[in-house]
Amino acid sequence: TSPGSSDFLPPPECPVFEPSWAEFSDPLGYIAKIRPIAEKSGICKIRPPAVSI
């Protein structure tokens, strides 16, 4: 699109991570582990493990 164009371009999909409870128990360690992947897109989503009832 040209500058000033009103066409909306949606951003690219971001990576989504679903850590296990073991990985989620150390959140900073997990973030360090996925950081190289997340940095490529500039954003990511981390879904916490499901809670069992």
- Domains of the chain: total: 1
Flag whether pLDDT at 4 surpasses 80: no
Find the domain containing 23 and state its range.
16-46
Flag whether pLDDT at 9 surpasses 90: no
pLDDT attached to residue 11? 77
Please check whether residue 5 lies inside any domain of the structure: no
Please check whether residue 30 lies inside any domain of the structure: yes
pLDDT attached to residue 20? 96
Please check whether residue 26 lies inside any domain of the structure: yes
- pTM for the model stands at 0.70
CA atoms within 13 A on the CB side of 52: 2
pLDDT, tens digit (0-9, with 9 covering 90-100), for 11-53: 778 999 999 999 999 999 999 999 999 999 889 999 999 887 7
Please check whether residue 51 lies inside any domain of the structure: no
Please check whether residue 53 lies inside any domain of the structure: no
HEC-encoded secondary structure of 5-50 = CCCCCCCCCCCEECCCHHHHCCHHHHHHHHHHHHHHHCCCEECCCC
Please check whether residue 2 lies inside any domain of the structure: no
Please check whether residue 40 lies inside any domain of the structure: yes
